[in-house]
Structure 1
Amino acid sequence: MKNKALLFINGDSPKTIPNLSGYDLIACTDGAFHYLKQLKFPLDKLDFISGDFDSHQIEEEILRQAQNHSFEIIETPDQNKTDFHKALEIIVEKGFENIDVYGGSGGEQDHFLGNLSVAYAFKDKLNLQFFDEYSSYYFIPKNFSISDVKGKMISLMPFPIAKNIETKGLKWPLHQEDLILGERIGTRNVADSQEVSIQYKKGDLLIFVGK
């Protein structure tokens, strides 16, 4: 498998362009194109733009830019899947498992929940990590650890349930406890050591790591 891909989707724009040097593939959906232009993103770094191109204004602008740059335009008209879902399928076909995503949160909240649903569908196939202005967030395996986090906010969100959770390195640890959406969740905890480890037996768990 190839190293790492970067994908921009149609949520809140990052304030600045992330460091592009660590990525072997960079892509965006057509809905993210508007904020990349505002950020003065170097379009020669893009490998492809995908989407259903339902806005003629955006489509015309993308086609015009494609004439001056080498990125590929991939139409994905299937209305049974989101543009994010279809972009991930393209990236997987190109041989990537590690994908960083910007623009996954913010904007219309049904989009945000839809993006989490897509990430959940791919959680066993991809190492998928979201970034926004407040945190990074992603689904974690049953045995997980993260370093260099002392003092950072750590939230654990069951999706919808995670059982027998054991944590080390958090201010408020969990000892063989359950988190259940609608009953008890693990938001706004704090890392009190440089390394945090989390183990759980059943279910699925989404972690948010503050900046």
Structure 2
Amino acid sequence: MAQYGVGGVKRNLPEPVVILADGNPPTHPAPLSTLQTANTLICTDGAGEKAKMLDRHPDFIIGDMDSHNKASLSHGTDIIELTDQNSTDLEKALDFCIQEGVVSATLLGLSGGREDHMLANFAILSGVSKKMKLSAVTDYHTVHPVSDKEDFSCISNSTVSLLTAHGQPTVTTTGLRFPLQDQCLLSSGHGVSNFAETDKFSVKVAGGIVLVFIRHGD
């Protein structure tokens, strides 16, 4: 992913940091709560208007600015225009976070709209997770890229799906109804629709990256 010079002195970006991408705006209480409690809200080009519709004012808008009306912004939004067409606006926003020393962020607006954009967004989520701690919240799931061992809390009996994002990982789980023990995910559907037996479970991954999808409660 390309690096961009966006200024000299690093800004102090208070946590939690949330990036709103230009997919469908969130409607479920889980992503809406994440949006409303963000202390730093970064929008990709085109997502700033969606944030305003949800009563949130972006702190930053980042991208090539081919989808945003600058005149519609109220005072206080820092616009960072990056015209390089070799990376997406989401990649540019994440590059900005890395340069500013952000250690973790939550992504919203990854799904909906064009399927190629959606798949690229989840590929970016997994790829950049090697550089900073990332998660995504959609209207259906909270999504975590896992490349080591992580423990999760959830509602008991939540649907949990595991999908390979990179490499040929072996996976070990505890606390799921259908456990895996040093197993490769044999097909794209092998890890779909498992269930948490209690309100906690763990996933251990070696040799790649797995996306863990935890379904929201109704």
- Give TM class, smaller chain: 0.7 to 0.9
Q: Which residue of 1 aligns with 2:115?
A: 109
Give the superposition deviation at 1:87. Answer: 0.7
Give secondary structure in 2 for the equivalent of 1:31.
Answer: coil
Higher helix share: 1
* Pair 1:85–1:19, CA change in 2 (3 A): closer
Q: Which runs of 5+ in 1 are unaligned?
A: none
8 Å Cα contact 1:171-1:189 kept in structure 2: yes
* Pair 1:119–1:148, CA change in 2 (3 A): closer
Structure-2-length-normalised TM-score? 0.83
* Pair 1:181–1:84, CA change in 2 (3 A): farther
Give the superposition deviation at 1:144. Answer: 1.4
Are 2:144 and 1:144 equivalent residues in the alignment? no
Q: Which residue of 1 aligns with 2:94?
A: 88
8 Å Cα contact 2:152-2:202 kept in structure 1: yes
Amino acid at match of 1:105: S
Are 2:72 and 1:52 equivalent residues in the alignment? no
Amino acid at match of 1:208: F
Q: How does 1:44-193 map to 2 (within 5 A)?
A: 46-55=58-67, 58-59=68-69, 62-65=70-73, 68-182=74-188, 185-193=190-198
Q: Which runs of 5+ in 2 are unaligned?
A: 1-11
* Pair 1:140–1:69, CA change in 2 (3 A): same
Structure-1-length-normalised TM-score? 0.86
Q: Which residue of 2 aligns with 1:207?
A: 212
RMSD of equivalent CA atoms? 2.1
Per-residue displacement from partner, 1:167-192 (whole Å, max 9, x unpaired)? 1111111122111455x530011101
Distance in 1 (CA, whole Å) between partners of 2:34 and 2:211 is 25
Higher strand share: 1
Q: Please, which moves more after superposition, 136-145 or 77-86?
A: 136-145
Give secondary structure in 2 for the equivalent of 1:198.
Answer: strand
Amino acid at match of 1:42: R
Give the superposition deviation at 1:136. Answer: 0.9
8 Å Cα contact 1:166-1:174 kept in structure 2: yes
* Aligned length, in residue pairs: 201
8 Å Cα contact 1:143-1:198 kept in structure 2: yes
Give the superposition deviation at 1:112. Answer: 0.9
Distance in 2 (CA, whole Å) between partners of 1:181 and 1:197 is 21
Give the superposition deviation at 1:37. Answer: 3.2
Give the superposition deviation at 1:160. Answer: 4.4
Are 2:47 and 1:25 equivalent residues in the alignment? no
Give the superposition deviation at 1:21. Answer: 6.6
Amino acid at match of 2:195: V
Are 2:53 and 1:38 equivalent residues in the alignment? yes
Distance in 2 (CA, whole Å) between partners of 1:3 and 1:149 is 25
8 Å Cα contact 1:161-1:178 kept in structure 2: no
8 Å Cα contact 2:136-2:142 kept in structure 1: yes
